[in-house]
Structure 1
Amino acid sequence: MDLAGRTALVTGANRGLGRHFAEQLIKRGATVYAGARNPASVDLPGAVPIALDVTDPESVAAAARATSGVSILINNAGSFTGASLADGSLEDIRLEMDTHYFGTLLVTRAFAPQLAEHDESAVLNVLSVLSWVTRPGFSAYAAAKSAAWSLTSALRIELAGQGTGVSALHVGFLDTDMVGHVDAPKSDPAVIAALALDGVEAGEPEIVADDRSRAVQSRLSGGVAALYPRSA
């Protein structure tokens, strides 16, 4: 699937990985709607700012009405509260689910009719290595990403009939503001965005972007003992 000449919508496009997605799509010849809760925060030359809060059904519906011709949807918008499932704020836990699960579902459903107008179209859901494994300080986030992984698999099946391919991006920590507090190796978001877009062009259903994600994926069949050897 050639990205040149396509129209794309990127959620959370005002900063971090989302901004890199938008920038590289423009460089590859796509028209880009850059979704952000505050469209004035979109400072990327050539992008078309669109007001979009993925946790607000009315905002999502309004964004769909304000756009046309979208054949590439990148569900990138994210949140990170650091909430614990054991004793964290339920409001924070709901925010993680509203953003990563329900937000992805709302946006995909709203833009599915535009995607269906094309012989070929694509959805890329930005997930995480934490779709597959969790760690202290990330349990609410990981639960939401895990739910989004299941959602991605379901949408891949349900949208296939209209010619829409659905891909999942699994990646570890990125060098962005969201995880600036984390002391761990981090990938360059520009490199990850390029790799992910290459995967979309190639029609890859699952894009595993770094060594950490590949290592965890390789242990999934080993169950709890392989994923959590210290607690098994």
Structure 2
Amino acid sequence: MQINGTKALVTGANRGLGKAFAEALLARGATTVYATARRPDHINIPGVVPLQLDITDPTSIEAAATEVGELDILINNAGISTDAPLLGPSTENVRREFETNFWGTLNVTRAFAPRLAGGAILNVISALSWYTFAPASNGYAASKAAEWSLTNGVRLELADQKTQVTALALAIADTDMMAAYDIPKLPPHEVVTMALDGLEAGKLEVIADGPTANVKASLSRDPALFYADIATSLFG
């Protein structure tokens, strides 16, 4: 998949990774980049086409798909984290995370998949697709694990129409979602560069940082050892 000359759409493009994706797609020669958000008036990226899209609203998704028509690249970037534990007083925020991170991604993919024959989809998953580190991240982790599985399943279902499906997995980027953590973070443009390089190279999975690579490589270990070592060996 070569980006130059393509028509692309990015969800959650008003800030962070989504904004960086939209900017990078233009820089690589995409002829049309739809930058979407619930509030398109919050999008300030020269050269893009701002478009209203709430990925939790089927009517909004269908309206966006109708307006865009045929598409070459879909970047499923939009997501939320509410710091919801699985066994807290309510499951409301866990449901919100699944509605956005899993169902939103799936419904956007379903709407655009028939328009992406010969094109590509990139889903932004997480190192937390493969582990958890604190109760407050458990709802988000579960939704991202589901999104990883979704990505693998969609790849198989779209193989006949030659749609490439790539996962971008990362742990620590300098975005609003990670603002509360005082740790070294990758700049969004570096993550996006790796992701789009991988997309153009035909990779099925792009691992953006060392912590994510360590987590993925450790999945075959005894879980007791795996979780005992997270704070030291995986992120040390």
Output the CA distance in 1 between the equivalents of 2:225 and 2:10.
35
1:11 aligns with 2:11: yes
Output the CA distance in 2 between the equivalents of 1:89 and 1:33.
36
Partner of 2:130: 132
Partner of 1:229: 228
SS of residue paired to 1:207: strand
Partner of 1:168: 167
* Superposed displacement of residue 183, structure 1: 2.6
**Structure 2 counterpart of 1:228, one-letter code:** Y
Output the CA distance in 2 between the equivalents of 1:88 and 1:59.
31
Q: For the structure 1 residues 219 and 49, does the alpha-carbon distance in structure 2 shift closer, same or farther, using more than 3 Å as the test?
A: same
* Superposed displacement of residue 68, structure 1: 2.3
**Structure 2 counterpart of 1:189, one-letter code:** P
What's the TM-score, normalizing by structure 2? Answer: 0.94
* Superposed displacement of residue 88, structure 1: 5.0
CA RMSD of aligned residues (A): 1.3
* Superposed displacement of residue 162, structure 1: 0.6
* Superposed displacement of residue 57, structure 1: 0.8
Q: Between Structure 1 and Structure 2, how many residues are aligned?
A: 228
1:21 aligns with 2:21: yes
Partner of 2:233: none
Output the CA distance in 2 between the equivalents of 1:18 and 1:200.
16
1:122 aligns with 2:120: yes
What's the TM-score, normalizing by structure 1? Answer: 0.95
Output the CA distance in 1 between the equivalents of 2:88 and 2:207.
32
Is residue 219–residue 226 contact of structure 1 (8 Å, CA) maintained in 2?
A: no
**Structure 2 counterpart of 1:51, one-letter code:** Q
Partner of 1:99: 100
* Superposed displacement of residue 223, structure 1: 3.9
Partner of 2:234: none
**Structure 2 counterpart of 1:159, one-letter code:** L
Partner of 2:150: 151
SS of residue paired to 2:172: coil
* Superposed displacement of residue 69, structure 1: 2.6
Output the CA distance in 2 between the equivalents of 1:69 and 1:58.
18
Output the CA distance in 1 between the equivalents of 2:198 and 2:89.
36
Output the CA distance in 2 between the equivalents of 1:111 and 1:209.
26
**Structure 2 counterpart of 1:25, one-letter code:** L
Runs of 4+, deviation exceeding 2 Å? none
* Superposed displacement of residue 160, structure 1: 0.7
- Percent identity of the aligned residues? 51
Partner of 1:89: 90
